[in-house]
A and B are shown apart, each in its own frame.
Chain A
Amino acid sequence: MSISPEEIKVVPRGPEPGGAGGAYRAFGETLRGLRTTMGRMFEKPVTIQYPEEKTPVYPRFRGRHKLHRFEDSHLEKCVGCSLCVAACPADCIRVVAAENDPEDRVSAGERYAAVYEINLARCIFCGYCEMACPFDAITMGHDYEMADYNRSDLIFTKEMLLAEPLERTPLRGEGE
């Protein structure tokens, strides 16, 4: 394929470096650089002082999981169906279901999760468990500060997942 002369765009090139003109331009550019850096000095730093200040997360941010109860009866929403376990690509959820005692119900359904563990060291925060859940019993929360000293401490049990997080992560409004 040949290029016609009209298609060729001539780009103006900068002056050749070196020589007296080059030295003069280099000096001018240095002054321009100095002015630029000095200008930055009078602007407010863009740093977010992380542990004290936090960037708010988006509403759909997928942080640490939460298990939910019904607000009126305080029964657990989870019925131990293990669909989340099936959906989990990282294989980090473990559910052991048990029959509800009609006298002392734990969940609203026939069965409940006697053991519900998420290994957060393995979790990839994909949110498939949330999507698989037929009762909206598990959702992805907004917490992301989960660092710990032990791998075993990263296995979250049902009580930990049901409890309110210790500290609320700042949330960004829709469209903010």
Chain B
Amino acid sequence: MLTPLLADTNFVDATWIMIVKSLVIFIVLLTIVPVVLLAERKLLGRFQQRYGPNRVGPYGALQPLADVGKLLSKQGFRPKGAVPYLYEIAPAISIFAAVVTLAILPFGDVQGGVGLYGVDLPIGILYFFAFGAIGFYGLLLGGWASGSKYSFLGAMRSAAQLISYEIAMGLSLLGVVMMAGSLSLVDIVKAQGDIWFIFPQIVGFLIFMVAGFAETNRVPFDLPEADAELVAGYSTEYGGMRFGSYFFAEYMEILIISGIAATMFFGGWMGPGPPVLDPIWMLAKMLAVTFFFIWIRATLPRFRYDQLMSFGWKILLPIATLNVLVTAVLVVVT
């Protein structure tokens, strides 16, 4: 089944290696999510001159465990007006789409006969957009199937926002793709041997980051779940581990956007030191971008809804288009 799809990739592993790799990537990223969760709360605290959680375990290190324990012990409740199956499936769709996207993040080149990535797809970055789009169904269906006005409004807002910013995001990465001449993330990293793409593609990078904040429903684009205004947006009626799934998927999204940013703009796994350090470099760059996400959250207030829409369509989209055009001309000329 997969063979025609993988026909012209650089390198294909044996099946058992693929299975081991997918497990390793999943487990590593799964353990990073609670760390990011805790780091966010600690850092937000520091940004606001507080300590953040420091009661559970040394320096509050066990706080995520306590949170998960609490969520797991909650009753699995379904509101009366909810659509039975969709209500239960929606968080799973979200989490599925988030986890699946991990496959294409490259943590290193082929080393010792093993490619340090889930799979090197020839369609590369398109795969990321495809599963990002599927992830929206999780939010949309969840909000709609809850049978609540608040959830529904939140879901509609998310839909409008995510669709608007998806376009700018796609266009912002197009410049990088044109410069690298490939959609494959491994090839894109290799093309950054001389210079990281953040320098020639600084406009693309800024657009990508802004759109990335919007795609992950982060401040200043957290209107879908605006705590103060919308109760909790699409996840209003969710509790227990179903809410936990949404939460987990959201942080996974942040990690993935950070990973994509590190890959596309910061030279992915490239860094000084022996090739063994490559995955470490990739992770470090990912976490640095994640830190930026948290930093922004501590800094900016929320957009108004009309500002959000006009910013996406009137500013980001034209700039992204212009960026693509100029890049295209320059690539052809040089």
Show the binding face of A for B, using Cβ within 8 Å: 23, 30, 33-34, 36-38, 40-41, 43-47, 49
CA–CA, A33 and B219, complex, Å? 14
* B10 CB–A CB distance under 8 Å: no
**Which residues of the partner chain B approach A30 to less than 8 Å between Cβ atoms?**
299-300
Count, chain B residues at interface, CB 8 A: 14
CA–CA, A40 and B51, complex, Å? 12
**Which residues of the partner chain A approach B43 to less than 8 Å between Cβ atoms?**
41
Chain B min CB distance to A32 (Å): 10
Other A-B pairs beyond A30-B299, A37-B47, A40-B47, 5, CB < 8 Å: A33-B300, A36-B299, A37-B295, A40-B46, A46-B50
Q: Please determine whether A37 and B50 come into contact, CB atoms closer than 8 angstroms.
A: no
* B202 CB–A CB distance under 8 Å: no
- Can you pick out 5 interface pairs between chain A and chain B where the beta carbons lie within 8 Å of each other? A23-B315, A30-B300, A40-B47, A41-B46, A41-B47
Q: Please determine whether B46 and A33 come into contact, CB atoms closer than 8 angstroms.
A: no
Q: Please determine whether A37 and B51 come into contact, CB atoms closer than 8 angstroms.
A: no
Chain A min CB distance to B221 (Å): 14
Q: Name which residue of chain B comes closest to A43, CB basis.
A: B49
Contacts A23-B315, A33-B300: A38 and B51 contacting too (C-beta < 8 A)? no
Chain B min CB distance to A172 (Å): 23
Q: Please determine whether B299 and A33 come into contact, CB atoms closer than 8 angstroms.
A: yes
Q: Please determine whether B298 and A45 come into contact, CB atoms closer than 8 angstroms.
A: no
**Which residues of the partner chain B approach A36 to less than 8 Å between Cβ atoms?**
299
**Which residues of the partner chain B approach A34 to less than 8 Å between Cβ atoms?**
295-296, 299
Show the binding face of B for A, using Cβ within 8 Å: 43, 45-51, 295-296, 298-300, 315
Q: Please determine whether A40 and B295 come into contact, CB atoms closer than 8 angstroms.
A: no
Q: Please determine whether A38 and B295 come into contact, CB atoms closer than 8 angstroms.
A: yes
**Which residues of the partner chain A approach B45 to less than 8 Å between Cβ atoms?**
45
Q: Please determine whether B315 and A37 come into contact, CB atoms closer than 8 angstroms.
A: no
**Which residues of the partner chain A approach B298 to less than 8 Å between Cβ atoms?**
37
**Which residues of the partner chain B approach A45 to less than 8 Å between Cβ atoms?**
45-46, 49-51
Kindly identify which residue among B49, B296, B300, B315 contacts A40, using a CB–CB cutoff of 8 Å. Answer: B49
CA–CA, A142 and B45, complex, Å? 32
Q: Name which residue of chain A comes closest to B301, CB basis.
A: A33
**Which residues of the partner chain B approach A47 to less than 8 Å between Cβ atoms?**
49-51
CA–CA, A13 and B259, complex, Å? 43
Q: Name which residue of chain B comes closest to A27, CB basis.
A: B206
CA–CA, A30 and B50, complex, Å? 22
Chain A min CB distance to B214 (Å): 15
**Which residues of the partner chain B approach A40 to less than 8 Å between Cβ atoms?**
46-49
CA–CA, A135 and B258, complex, Å? 72
CA–CA, A37 and B46, complex, Å? 9
Q: Name which residue of chain A comes closest to B220, CB basis.
A: A30
**Which residues of the partner chain A approach B50 to less than 8 Å between Cβ atoms?**
45-47
CA–CA, A55 and B298, complex, Å? 28
Q: Name which residue of chain B comes closest to A42, CB basis.
A: B46
Q: Name which residue of chain A comes closest to B315, CB basis.
A: A23
CA–CA, A53 and B172, complex, Å? 51
Chain B min CB distance to A30 (Å): 7
CA–CA, A113 and B298, complex, Å? 59
Across the A-B interface, the 3 shortest Cβ-Cβ residue pairs: A33-B299, A37-B299, A37-B298
Q: Name which residue of chain A comes closest to B298, CB basis.
A: A37
CA–CA, A117 and B243, complex, Å? 51
**Which residues of the partner chain B approach A38 to less than 8 Å between Cβ atoms?**
47, 295
Q: Name which residue of chain A comes closest to B52, CB basis.
A: A45
CA–CA, A36 and B88, complex, Å? 43
**Which residues of the partner chain A approach B300 to less than 8 Å between Cβ atoms?**
30, 33
Of B295, B299, B315, most buried by chain A (CB within 10 Å of CB) is B299
CA–CA, A45 and B48, complex, Å? 8
Chain A min CB distance to B314 (Å): 10
Chain A min CB distance to B321 (Å): 16
CA–CA, A34 and B296, complex, Å? 7
CA–CA, A44 and B51, complex, Å? 9
